[in-house]
Amino acid sequence: MDNEVKRVEILMEALPYIREFRGKSVVIKYGGAAMDQADLKESFALDVILLHLVGINPVIVHGGGPQIGALMKRLGKEPSFVGGMRVTDEETVEIVEMVLVGKINKEIVGLINLHGGKAVGLSGKDGQLLLARRRLHRLPGGEMVDIGLVGEVERVSAEPIRLLEERGYMDGKRISTLARKDAERLVKAGVIDGGMLPKVESSLRALEGGTAKAHIIDGRLPHAILLELFTREGIGTEIVL
């Protein structure tokens, strides 16, 4: 009984904070060192899912320094440092993108989805999420030196993230009706991608050509066309002008 009482007390203690942050977006930095600890991965994913279930929108920003260094070593790429700062050339940027976007980002998304969440991954390039300017490095003596493709973030476009929140992607909801302008925004933000991208683009071209509505449905379902056209709920997404 004591354990049950403690659990209730913990929930009651958390209630004011849930009320304060409910409906707000919370940015979580998930570091590369923490990602290397297998015993922390599951608890991290469950914490993120719990935040979402109580009405908080988690936005995960992840690192990957150790993983980048490991791949550079495997590829025979020796890091170069000036004044304690890593010099980043074009080849290094390619390696960084391979690790952060192609590997770690997908692993985090898969981890959350594996434990029952609904996550989507974005990079700084998607929907012009991040805009940065090149930055020189100041040495102790005051001299400014070029350390390559290193910069400071000047602008963060929250539009791609807001689109995900507005459209309920993390709730796993199907979008039954989508205005053309919203479909175009989702395409630019990278939310609509993969095999769905050419379908949506074809629908948008049809609308531009004078078609009033375009429907995207799952043709693998029996009687999919009839279910979409002749039932109130439908089974697909209707894109309208």
Q: Which domain holds residue 106?
A: 2-173
| Residue at a domain's end among 145, 173, 201 | 173
**Could you tell me if 61 and 28 are in contact, meaning their C-beta atoms sit under 8 angstroms apart?**
yes
Q: What is the mean pLDDT of the chain?
A: 81
Residues 147 and 222 in one domain: no
pLDDT at 230: 61
| Residue at a domain's end among 122, 150, 173 | 173
Nearest CA-CA partner of 57 in 15, 119, 136: 119
Q: How many domains does the chain have?
A: 2
Which tokens belong to 27? 């940015």
Please give the C-alpha separations between residue 234 and each of 170, 177, 198, 204, 216, in angstroms, as whole numbers: 21, 10, 21, 20, 11
Residues 180 and 141 in one domain: no
Residues 113 and 10 in one domain: yes
Please give the C-alpha separations between residue 157 and each of 121, 126, 129, 188, 191, in angstroms, as whole numbers: 15, 10, 5, 12, 14
pLDDT digits over 19-74, tens only? Answer: 888 888 888 888 777 777 777 888 889 888 988 988 888 888 888 888 888 899 89
pLDDT at 95: 92
Residues 147 and 179 in one domain: no
Residues 168 and 230 in one domain: no
Residues 168 and 179 in one domain: no
Which tokens belong to 153? 């973030």
Say which amino acid occupies 4. E
pLDDT digits over 112-129, tens only? Answer: 988 888 888 888 888 788
Residues 127 and 34 in one domain: yes
pLDDT digits over 155-186, tens only? Answer: 888 777 777 766 555 754 566 778 888 888 87
Residues 79 and 30 in one domain: yes
Residues 129 and 58 in one domain: yes
CATH code assigned at 116? 3.40.1160.10
Residues 56 and 77 in one domain: yes
pTM score, two decimals?
0.64
| Residue at a domain's end among 173, 196, 224 | 173
Average pLDDT over residues 209-221: 76
Residues 202 and 222 in one domain: yes
Residues 197 and 84 in one domain: no
- Token pair 């991040």: residue: 130
